[in-house]
Structure 1
């Protein structure tokens, strides 16, 4: 079952006085408010006060009135105007300081970009940066404006995402792991579990490394938090009883005596509350610590997240998120692509290459492909799958000299690492997060007339060979070398077909995450379609163990195409597991594959702009050999744009990223960032030679992580990652995603819902004249582009660019290639095509896939407790009378005479028909309103009074009726 997560606040209003900033945060229904106070009188200190008290609407109104009147009482001071509303926002991105005072960054605009079950993912559209100290205490610094502009060069409105209920820094498999904590436990057991968890996490030697956050160091400028104890050591999970979160409503904890006294006054309520307690309506809402590697506002939050309430904190990820709807005869199947860019060793193309001493590689991006049945809202009842893959720079100490303006600067190995210390640290974190096996798909060139990229390939093999010496054969790192650029130059070689073989090999080794919503029979996994799968399987689905890591020199063009091939293979198995298709084989030039191809190209363009300064140069259609002639001129322009960006603007972008992520912190009396000759020592803080602190080189993988293989250690040790626990009723909006997804507290326009604006296979990809609505039907006619609205350009041969004359499919066979194009497995030998036959039997041509719809889907009766049935005789008789009435009203006498068909001679209704409403006879001079009953007048009066003075208390009869409704609904 899905673990309940805690929803945080969604609406913020900032009020300011000369002494303080008051940030008022409310929940979704604006029934509960909280206040965060920030002092404005200290120019170099950040003084925050969070009293952690919730207010009702009336209480917060009185509090703001009191603050306003208290500031206005200083009538002798000129310019004192009391409490002023400054800005409305949807969340706090953090705080930052350069050479003057602190700034607060607020999210002022957002846009929905994806839905994962009931969880909404937003993209930041606009932000506001407010200076906290007031004008009376502010002092100026000559370099402050330059740092502010440099900080704002990292545009938060460009591909930054957040969610209130879904943790974007973790994978779907990690978020849905249900082994965290029982869904309902009594209060003594809940406290004992938390105590045991704290003691076990403190005694574990391996958890101490996980508890180290990257923002543990304090700057020289003091940061003071008023009204809160200073946090020392490892932060323990915060358990908040309901008397601390609500002043009027109590669910459990210290107010059980009050609940008993209230129940004794009404025996019916006492009986119902006892039943609810026995059935376990109290659940444990959980908020986990994020993966700080993918949090881009870690430096902005600083120590703020350790002191104030977690409802104020939003973790922001950077990268790409796209979603589309694969409509299978009206059934929505959502395909989501999430790319998380690492904030460690981040930067631009030529300035950030290889690896640093902490084991962080440049341009490391985790791509997750999620496919789920969107017709069912809640994830614990729906079928959902995901597949995760990774890309990153070659984990070696290497760089390229950009001082000379040449298109391809020479590759230089900066430092030798004979014991693969940094590479081992990188692979250790990868195995701890994803499990084993780790499959490396290296797309770097191997055969060159002049050695350029092949330098990296040879050194990378040595690293893999050394690390594999200390791993068992079952969990060894698997190395696949594929010279993709060399193969693509040949006209009679098929790159996508070879990538399809590699993808099938990788997906069967790692598997994918699948949650069926109900128990899966053994016959499902014994199917020949899953022959050779080595993932972790159980009766409720399967888990992904291990990951495929793809890299080339830039990790842009070739890597994106290879990841598309992996995603295409995984999508076939995901749709087959969901019951959508009868075979995991998918064909090119179908609506489904075109949607997937566009998603991966959008991802590639976005990531290439962030890292390389231009969009993709070599696209998927280019490797399929079906790109039109106009694409070549576009590739030339993208190459020039990338070359210009790398030469003239990458340095400024790198400095802005270093300031935004806190890699460089401005301080008075020290050199500015633009005065530094290099940022090498900012990203490599360890001394190069320090043998006393190095661990044993043969034990580069920790024993706790090794013991959990093939499962990932981070998932097994998930209970030690709890940050905030809250025991509350399961229907409360803090743990119930219903409130976030359906918005029952506001009027909703159906046409403005996200489901109507999401990219749809029928509206945006299916040809207008198509008669087959299946997204898996082969389309050979040109279709319109979703963004440009133009038909695809024809190629040189005059054929349509989407024709299957030269397109490749996963089901087609390919001519055998020479031994020079062989795959390099295991990292020590380059095996030929004949030795690659260990899994070629799974790649034989198959039949054209068929599709089934009725046998795999869950019935309406199992989900919504209702189903479609035949109409009763009484309903059919009523419908026949309705049809007869329509025929009698529309019948013409001439047709009745000329026609030989027997007609209805006269219509004799069995019931009396009379108008319900009666209106007065009006004239052009006077209009008399219709009479209004006293009951209607009372309803309208109560409506007006409710708008003026707020809602009134319901009567006892209404409360009893509402309690009976809840008893029937949740029992």
Structure 2
């Protein structure tokens, strides 16, 4: 039987080591982490000289920062539901265990820890001790259940894969001087794969038929980041904001309602439960994906509400886009590439670049344009005429979403569904019968051989509306095939389930959006209620405003946290004794402008509402308010004109276009008649602002 992660781990600590053991499995080896070196080893001997400090739900990983290594443990996790008898947990709290007995305080070290703690605390993280939640049911049916859980996990969605590297290296006999080149299978039970995303499990019914409804969205760890600092494609074929969303239905899943103890007797209990019911469990699932437009592009923050779009030459992106779609075809089969960006305005170049890449990849491409009353393209379909290449399994479908649904005509989004109906039916969905006693665990009846890959600019709001619409259609087809619904029936005919369905998909939209943009999704009132409302429009305004603030002033540190957590940037000790890498090295005059603006606004506010004696002079107060108002206007104009100086850029892997834009903005600021004299003579500050943390951002771990 494959080793599963321990459900209970005791942590013992001493000045020389940490020791991790499972009290429910006394025969298992103990994992020892030497202090302060971080060397790992397994031992069967009793550990002496240490005291028990805590019991944890699992080891999240181990990470090396500037001065020390830290073991991250999961202190508390809450159960969220069962899938096939396996409890799924959501991470609630974690703890950092330093390897040095006496913590060495350093500004950068403290900053790294703070970034990581904030990221982990705000992240929706899930895990299971016996079920691979990183893989969809179809991939699970192809897995070798004799392998440990972490080896079955999907590399893309194994969120803590980098910080588990030390344990995985020890397992594979590469863990430093104590591994001695031998594999250490005893480590398997300490490696716990964790998924970032959204997961809902509901025991419900449709038309009186009980079932378990599951929605899982898995976020890729590759090219992860924030909205404006992670766009498009990288050289390895990974795209930003890539998510796989799986909708599953399980019938006769009585094991998900009964108690399950430790992994050793789980299968036996499950078989007993199924025998008592006398019916086999039917599992049906459908997968959709989303991801940023696969070309080299960016949106450059400059404090304007709509940043400027930059796109590198399409020819330079063809190789990387080919790597991306090669992986997508290998994993999912035919790809229907649904593009929802606008065909006019600032988004037009992104749309056209996407189409050019597809045309270069497929052989003998043909286009079919369908106009409407307002535009020349309601639809634009690009497919191969010959079908002789691997990339001919790409089917590009452009839909003018904004133009078709403007004026709150959201029902017109179904025009896209009509276009995709036959490809979706032909692509099928995964269906299997659960066979706990079998070698694979699942007896496959049908497979999904095509996927719909949807994108808009952010792969959030428009994408969410379309994915929920396609999810509802496929779910209706599933239930018709099962005999739960009659031919022609739809899940919305059951109002109780329709309410559940809408809210789960809206929750999914909010989780995906918050992870990328910092706020909940827009247009979720339509997803929840089926119509646009004034309250929903106001909520969209609030979210849009919050996004603007976060994306310009708060997302730099978030991006740094992603880069450190996934090993894109590895803190070293090269800067010991030097100024902090996170220090603001802009000239003081540049830094002071927002504070002067805030002070002037405060004075105007105070002057407007301050009570005064009837006999007191009015002109001094009015003069102060006029001067403050003029100064505030000058400061605001300066900030808007030189916006790139006030964006909170990532300081570890600063994008090249940000470095160039920052330098240009600083040069322009020196030409300002008021600021020139203040900035002049600040050559040291200027040099550091241009070269300091910006140049450090070039230290990228490939």
Q: How does 1:794-805 map to 2 (within 5 A)?
A: none
Q: CA deviation at 1:153?
A: 1.8
**For 1:151, which of 88, 95, 116 is the aligned residue?**
116
Which one scores higher on RCO, CA 8 angstroms, separation ≥ 6?
Answer: 1
- Equivalent residues of 1:26, 1:34 under 8 A apart: no
Specify the alignment match of 1:933 in structure 2. Answer: none
**For 1:679, which of 641, 650, 653 is the aligned residue?**
653
Specify the alignment match of 1:545 in structure 2. Answer: 449
**For 1:564, which of 465, 468, 483 is the aligned residue?**
468
In the alignment, structure 1 residue 487 sits paired with structure 2 residue 452: no
Q: CA deviation at 1:36?
A: 1.3
- C-alpha distance in 2 between matches for 1:326 and 1:623: 18
Q: CA deviation at 1:566?
A: 1.1
In the alignment, structure 1 residue 354 sits paired with structure 2 residue 232: yes
Any idea what the Cα deviations from partners look like across 1:235-269, whole Å, max 9, x if unmatched? xx7xxxxxxxxxxxxxxxxxxxxxxxxxxxxxxxx
**For 1:412, which of 310, 323, 334 is the aligned residue?**
310
- C-alpha distance in 1 between matches for 2:409 and 2:338: 23
In the alignment, structure 1 residue 393 sits paired with structure 2 residue 292: yes
**For 1:384, which of 283, 286, 303 is the aligned residue?**
283
Any idea what the Cα deviations from partners look like across 1:482-539, whole Å, max 9, x if unmatched? 0111111146673242133145234213210011459xxxxxxxxxxxxxxxxxxx99
In the alignment, structure 1 residue 49 sits paired with structure 2 residue 46: no
In the alignment, structure 1 residue 35 sits paired with structure 2 residue 30: yes
- C-alpha distance in 2 between matches for 1:618 and 1:336: 23
- C-alpha distance in 2 between matches for 1:658 and 1:164: 27
In the alignment, structure 1 residue 431 sits paired with structure 2 residue 345: no
- Equivalent residues of 2:424, 2:450 under 8 A apart: no
Specify the alignment match of 2:569 in structure 1. Answer: 664
Specify the alignment match of 1:478 in structure 2. Answer: 395
Specify the alignment match of 2:14 in structure 1. Answer: 17
Specify the alignment match of 2:56 in structure 1. Answer: 89
Q: How does 1:429-468 map to 2 (within 5 A)?
A: 429-435=327-333, 437-446=334-343, 448=344, 451-468=345-362
Q: How does 1:364-379 map to 2 (within 5 A)?
A: 364-377=242-255
Q: 1:575 to 1:634 in 2, by over 3 A?
A: same
Q: CA deviation at 1:677?
A: 6.2
Q: 1:682 to 1:124 in 2, by over 3 A?
A: farther
Q: CA deviation at 1:322?
A: 1.1
SS of structure 1 residue aligned to 2:119: coil
Specify the alignment match of 2:691 in structure 1. Answer: none
Q: How does 1:675-824 map to 2 (within 5 A)?
A: 679=653
- Equivalent residues of 2:241, 2:459 under 8 A apart: yes
Q: CA deviation at 1:160?
A: 0.5
In the alignment, structure 1 residue 515 sits paired with structure 2 residue 443: no
- Equivalent residues of 2:62, 2:166 under 8 A apart: no
SS of structure 2 residue aligned to 1:155: helix
- Equivalent residues of 2:209, 2:484 under 8 A apart: no
SS of structure 1 residue aligned to 2:421: helix
Specify the alignment match of 1:422 in structure 2. Answer: 320
- Equivalent residues of 1:293, 1:344 under 8 A apart: yes
Q: 1:540 to 1:639 in 2, by over 3 A?
A: closer
- C-alpha distance in 2 between matches for 1:328 and 1:406: 48
- C-alpha distance in 2 between matches for 1:491 and 1:158: 33
- Equivalent residues of 2:127, 2:195 under 8 A apart: yes
SS of structure 1 residue aligned to 2:156: helix
- Equivalent residues of 1:162, 1:314 under 8 A apart: yes
- C-alpha distance in 1 between matches for 2:162 and 2:415: 43
| Number of residue-to-residue matches in the alignment | 523
**For 2:555, which of 650, 654, 658 is the aligned residue?**
650
- C-alpha distance in 1 between matches for 2:125 and 2:299: 29
Q: 1:417 to 1:678 in 2, by over 3 A?
A: farther
- Equivalent residues of 2:207, 2:484 under 8 A apart: no
Q: CA deviation at 1:466?
A: 1.3
Specify the alignment match of 1:175 in structure 2. Answer: 140
- C-alpha distance in 1 between matches for 2:651 and 2:104: 30
In the alignment, structure 1 residue 595 sits paired with structure 2 residue 500: yes
- C-alpha distance in 2 between matches for 1:19 and 1:568: 57
- C-alpha distance in 2 between matches for 1:139 and 1:680: 27
Q: 1:649 to 1:580 in 2, by over 3 A?
A: same
- C-alpha distance in 2 between matches for 1:582 and 1:9: 45
In the alignment, structure 1 residue 554 sits paired with structure 2 residue 417: no
- Equivalent residues of 1:126, 1:157 under 8 A apart: no
Q: CA deviation at 1:288?
A: 3.3
Q: CA deviation at 1:431?
A: 1.1
SS of structure 1 residue aligned to 2:39: strand
| Largest Rg, 1 or 2 | 1
Specify the alignment match of 1:744 in structure 2. Answer: none
- C-alpha distance in 2 between matches for 1:627 and 1:479: 29
Unpaired runs of at least 5, structure 2:
172-186, 256-269, 275-279, 365-383, 436-441, 584-649, 658-702
Q: 1:661 to 1:514 in 2, by over 3 A?
A: same
- C-alpha distance in 2 between matches for 1:326 and 1:625: 21
Specify the alignment match of 1:842 in structure 2. Answer: none
In the alignment, structure 1 residue 119 sits paired with structure 2 residue 119: no
Q: CA deviation at 1:6?
A: 4.0
CA RMSD of aligned residues (A): 3.0
- Equivalent residues of 2:295, 2:317 under 8 A apart: no
Q: TM-score, normalised by structure 1?
A: 0.51
Specify the alignment match of 1:108 in structure 2. Answer: 75
- C-alpha distance in 1 between matches for 2:443 and 2:40: 50
Q: 1:286 to 1:677 in 2, by over 3 A?
A: closer
Q: 1:16 to 1:287 in 2, by over 3 A?
A: closer
Any idea what the Cα deviations from partners look like across 1:511-570, whole Å, max 9, x if unmatched? 10011459xxxxxxxxxxxxxxxxxxx995210112110000011100001100110111
Q: 1:286 to 1:678 in 2, by over 3 A?
A: closer
- Equivalent residues of 2:249, 2:283 under 8 A apart: yes
Specify the alignment match of 2:168 in structure 1. Answer: 305
- C-alpha distance in 2 between matches for 1:499 and 1:156: 38
Specify the alignment match of 2:479 in structure 1. Answer: 575
Q: CA deviation at 1:432?
A: 1.4
**For 1:326, which of 174, 194, 204 is the aligned residue?**
204
Q: 1:327 to 1:36 in 2, by over 3 A?
A: same
- Equivalent residues of 2:7, 2:58 under 8 A apart: yes
When you count strand as a share of all residues, which structure comes out higher? Answer: 2
Q: CA deviation at 1:328?
A: 4.3
- C-alpha distance in 2 between matches for 1:604 and 1:402: 24
Q: 1:622 to 1:101 in 2, by over 3 A?
A: closer
Q: 1:286 to 1:550 in 2, by over 3 A?
A: closer
- C-alpha distance in 2 between matches for 1:603 and 1:369: 11
Q: 1:606 to 1:115 in 2, by over 3 A?
A: same
Q: CA deviation at 1:583?
A: 2.7
Unpaired runs of at least 5, structure 1:
54-59, 72-82, 184-236, 238-284, 519-537, 684-971
In the alignment, structure 1 residue 291 sits paired with structure 2 residue 154: yes
Q: CA deviation at 1:319?
A: 1.0
- C-alpha distance in 2 between matches for 1:414 and 1:466: 16
